[in-house]
């Protein structure tokens, strides 16, 4: 997607310029070292997004932008790792999980949503960090990738983000306007497959 210029610029610098993160520790700043299949909890990432947005814009992030920031960060990271396995963007495969967190998205009317985060944020029960989260202890590759995607996401309007998420096949395949409840799970493997094949340029 051309809207994600900061992310695309970052990828361009990674071509033939990557060292493998051999000593990466999968860490969650709320719970310590966690399941090696996932890098952090969805709540940890949501908290970081809320913190970063308020730091940059001096206002509270909207629920829609928070959800789309979570989705596109998850999706583009998955695609980046998927592409690295195919030798794209980097010289070596990146030995990190393509899945940032375990919780799966649901196909809601306004695009993919993490219901647990939605409800916690709506009810003011999401624990928000109050300072620069250095304790995230994630690799430079991961942090710069996350930050580049978030910078792009923050600059796009809420409903443009919704429209972009509606273009994804993983949402289209799992959303039916006629369903009584719009809560069908979007499989993380399907997000990985779609974004591995998606053109980032």
The per-residue pLDDT for range 83-106, each reduced to its tens digit, is 888 777 665 567 788 999 999 999
131 Cβ contact partners less than 8 Å away, ≥ 6 residues apart: none
Give the separation between CA 94 and CA 82, rounded to whole angstroms: 9
Read off the pLDDT band of 108 (50, 70, 90). Answer: very high
Give the separation between CA 35 and CA 170, rounded to whole angstroms: 25
Q: Give the per-residue pLDDT at 131.
A: 54
156 Cβ contact partners less than 8 Å away, ≥ 6 residues apart: 3, 164
The alpha carbon of 166 is separated from its chain's Cα centroid by a whole number of angstroms, namely 16
Give the separation between CA 124 and CA 109, rounded to whole angstroms: 22
Q: Are 182 and 174 in contact (CB under 8 A)?
A: no
Q: Residues for the chain: how many in total?
A: 201
pLDDT at 166 over 70: yes
Instruction: Output 91 or 62, whichever has higher pLDDT.
Output: 62
Q: Which helix (H) or strand (E) holds 69?
A: helix 63-85
- Residue 49 dihedral angles phi and psi, to the nearest 5°: -60, -45
Give the separation between CA 43 and CA 128, rounded to whole angstroms: 9
Percentage of the chain exceeding pLDDT 70: 75
> What mean pLDDT do residues 156-176 have?
97
Q: Which of 11-15, 121-125, 159-163 has the highest mean pLDDT?
A: 159-163
Read off the pLDDT band of 149 (50, 70, 90). Answer: very high
pLDDT at 35 over 70: no
Q: Give the per-residue pLDDT at 53.
A: 93
Q: Which helix (H) or strand (E) holds 50?
A: helix 42-57
pLDDT at 19 over 60: no
Mean pLDDT of the chain: 81
Nearest to 81 by CA among 165, 18, 129: 18
């Amino acid at each position: 997607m051309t809207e994600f210029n900061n992310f695309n610029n970052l990828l361009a610098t990674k071509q033939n310029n990557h060292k493998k993160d051999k000593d990466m520790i999968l860490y969650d700043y709320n719970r310590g070292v966690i399941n090696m299949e996932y890098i952090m909890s969805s709540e940890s990432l949501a908290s970081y997004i809320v913190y970063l947005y308020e730091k940059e814009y001096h206002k509270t992030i909207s629920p829609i932008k928070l959800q789309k920031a979570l989705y596109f960060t998850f999706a583009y990271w998955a695609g980046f790792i998927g592409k690295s396995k195919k030798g794209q963007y980097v010289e070596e495969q990146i030995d990190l999980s393509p899945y940032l967190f375990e919780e799966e998205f649901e196909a809601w009317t306004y695009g993919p949503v993490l219901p647990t985060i939605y409800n916690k944020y709506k009810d003011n029960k999401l624990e928000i960090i109050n300072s620069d989260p250095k304790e995230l202890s994630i690799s430079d590759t991961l942090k710069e990738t996350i930050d580049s995607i978030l910078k792009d996401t923050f600059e796009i309007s809420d409903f443009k983000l919704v429209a972009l998420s509606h273009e994804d096949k993983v949402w289209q395949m799992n959303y039916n306007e006629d369903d009584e409840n719009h809560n069908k799970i979007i499989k993380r493997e399907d997000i990985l497959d779609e974004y591995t094949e998606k053109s980032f340029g």
